[in-house]
Structure 1
Amino acid sequence: MSSAPNKALWPGLLLATLGAIAFSGKAIIVKLAYRHGVDAVTLIMLRMVFALPLFLILAWWAGRGKPPLTGRDWRVILGLGFSGYYLASYLDFAGLAYVSASFERLILYLNPTIVLFLGWLLFKRRVTGRQLIALAVSYSGVLLVFGQELHLQGANVLLGAALVFGSAISYALYLVFSGEEVKRLGAMRLTGLATTVACLLCIGQFLLLRPLSALQTVAPEVIWLSVLNATACTFAPVLMVMMAIERVGATMAAQTGMIGPMSTILMGVLILGEPFTPWVAAGTLLVMGGVWLLTRWR
């Protein structure tokens, strides 16, 4: 009797796992693209150009038969798109020019701790002693890896870490303020619309800061990497994670997402040749352990 429910969970768990791995591949692709001399403004524009048609289709498909958007909806979508997908993405891409893919993923994995802090700061939500312990465990892990990065890559790591942490804060703001709109519009429709806003902002940013002639110097490898980033590491994992949540729930999908940092580290070692030291291993275990405790001690 119990085997049937367990079998029903497997498709959702597989989707959540594949989504987490695909999301984590984004940092690897960005680091590979940087080897061809492209800058963050151009690289994120290329990613969003190829992702834009896909998210437009998603927004249209998810909005079929739904009530039209109100003026308030559009204002909220613009704000969420700016914070959650434009600013968070740009800061992340910029930070990856200075830090390893593994360290970037660990910083982004702190997202639940930032959401907890924002809840306390903005809405006066209570933080328990257990949650503070979980926070201390997580951030001690980041400090361990930061020390290793500083030793290997120099002072620019501080700038890179600040940019990536800013990305994590920006996305945490999206999570904190998107709850009501998700209930109104649905997760798929909101994601499609907010990401479309971000795509247009990234394209507009490029047009303001770079001449169109800059595209003539972009290596063909960067174009293909951007196509891969837009499809396999941006659009596809969004769908997979949403479908996983529908099947196994948000909590189990989030717990399965713990494979993300490990897959980033593995790909960083195998594809980018990033070092894997005892400090990185210990820091990763502390970050993941702290976030796991935080989800258990809510």
Structure 2
Amino acid sequence: MKRIAYFSVMCAAILWGILGIFIKKLYGFGFNPFQIVAIRAVGAFAMLFLYVTATDRKLLRIQLKDVIYFIGTGIISFVFFNWCYFMAIHYTTLSIASILLYTAPAFVIVFSTLLFKERLTSRKILSFVLTFAGCILVTGFFQQTGNSLPMIGILAGLGAGLGYALYSIFGRYALKKYDSMTVTLYTFLFASLGLIPITDFQGMYPLFSGVDVLFYSICLSLFSTVLPFIFYTKGLNQLETSRASIIATLEPAVATMVSIVVFQEHITSSRMMGIVLVLAAIIVVNENVSVEEKEHIPLNE
């Protein structure tokens, strides 16, 4: 079962990694960042609602007291993460924002150790270090010029990492009571509601004027939103939260390969080294050896 869970999370990372293909097309049609996030959330909710209604309506049932979990995954995580990420890009650069975003596994490791009593092992720490180093190389941090970064940009980037991490935390709690399909469905319902006050929905209507726009919107909602969130949530049901978060950092490596293959962007030796480090981190964290149990690092050390 765990091998399937590993595979599920890796599939999610790969699908998130091709996100740029659809986003780039939608930018070309005139959509702004929050409108694209709204397309993701509303489109994903509509697809999941139709599917669940047609196949198993029992999955629609939740208890009112558990709404807090889906406010967590949908608004506190999905909406907050996207808002912070776009802020970080605005005040810094895309590569620096990406690096700060991938502090998420560190947040997940801390929360998982405190909340779920997951073991903090040297293997996990090594995996995070490899992941973070790999992301720095993949995003081309060392090619940036200038040393001065505005504090608001740094805080926004760290906020994006925190928001990204919180999906794993709230999702873990929700999965104790609900099917992964239910968790994903209500995540995007509350994300859609949370986007209402900050998104120009009226300005979106004239942009849906051609078949191409609809096609790429559906692709974005299905292939880079619905399916990866289902895969990740399913994997989260079987794996330690910290492991799942580290495996998901395969995403920037995939995104880099997409930029090279699809958009013919220049590949550098440092980027290739970054991809290798991210893959190495995934191999390290997936090693299922008994010695890991002996590597426990107590919290008071």
- Label 1:235 to 1:132 Cα distance change in 2 as closer, same or farther (>3 A): closer
- Label 1:67 to 1:232 Cα distance change in 2 as closer, same or farther (>3 A): closer
Point out the more displaced range, 227-236 or 132-141: 132-141
In the TM superposition, what are the counterparts of 1:170-249 in structure 2 within 5 Å?
170-206=163-199, 210=200, 212-213=202-203, 215-216=205-206, 220=210, 222-239=213-230
Kept in 1, the 8 Å contact 2:135–2:252? The answer is no
What is aligned with 1:33?
26
Alpha-carbon separation, structure 1, partners of 2:15 and 2:186: 21
User: Which of 57, 65, 70 is matched with 2:63 structurally?
Assistant: 70
Kept in 2, the 8 Å contact 1:55–1:196? The answer is no
Q: Give, as a single letter, the amino acid of the residue that structure 1 aligns with 2:144.
A: L
In the TM superposition, what are the counterparts of 1:120-135 in structure 2 within 5 Å?
120=113, 127-135=120-128
Alpha-carbon separation, structure 1, partners of 2:46 and 2:271: 38
Is the counterpart of residue 52 in structure 1 residue 45 in structure 2?
yes
Gaps of at least 5 residues in structure 2 are 294-301
- Label 1:163 to 1:183 Cα distance change in 2 as closer, same or farther (>3 A): same
Kept in 1, the 8 Å contact 2:8–2:231? The answer is yes
Kept in 2, the 8 Å contact 1:58–1:189? The answer is no
Kept in 1, the 8 Å contact 2:81–2:163? The answer is yes
Is the counterpart of residue 150 in structure 1 residue 144 in structure 2?
yes
What is aligned with 1:280?
271
Alpha-carbon separation, structure 1, partners of 2:88 and 2:52: 29
Kept in 1, the 8 Å contact 2:131–2:249? The answer is no
Q: Give, as a single letter, the amino acid of the residue that structure 1 aligns with 2:94.
A: V
Matched length? 281
- Label 1:237 to 1:136 Cα distance change in 2 as closer, same or farther (>3 A): closer
What is aligned with 2:160?
167
Q: Give, as a single letter, the amino acid of the residue that structure 2 aligns with 1:76.
A: Y
Give CA deviations for 1:188-219 in whole Å, capped at 9, x if unaligned.
Answer: 2111112211123224431xxx3724643677
Alpha-carbon separation, structure 2, partners of 1:257 and 1:157: 28
1:150: Cα distance to partner?
A: 1.9
Alpha-carbon separation, structure 1, partners of 2:248 and 2:101: 12
Q: Give, as a single letter, the amino acid of the residue that structure 2 aligns with 1:274.
A: E
1:124: Cα distance to partner?
A: 7.7
What is aligned with 2:94?
99
Kept in 2, the 8 Å contact 1:20–1:259? The answer is yes
Kept in 1, the 8 Å contact 2:104–2:165? The answer is yes
- Label 1:15 to 1:82 Cα distance change in 2 as closer, same or farther (>3 A): closer
Kept in 2, the 8 Å contact 1:36–1:222? The answer is yes
Point out the more displaced range, 11-20 or 67-76: 11-20
Using structure 1 for the length normalisation, give the TM-score. Answer: 0.70
Q: Give, as a single letter, the amino acid of the residue that structure 2 aligns with 1:216.
A: P
Alpha-carbon separation, structure 2, partners of 1:20 and 1:139: 16
- Label 1:202 to 1:237 Cα distance change in 2 as closer, same or farther (>3 A): same
Kept in 1, the 8 Å contact 2:70–2:170? The answer is no
Kept in 2, the 8 Å contact 1:92–1:164? The answer is yes
DSSP-derived class of the 2:111 partner:
helix
**Aligned sequence identity (%):** 19
Gaps of at least 5 residues in structure 1 are none
What is aligned with 2:297?
none
1:183: Cα distance to partner?
A: 1.7
Kept in 1, the 8 Å contact 2:253–2:278? The answer is no
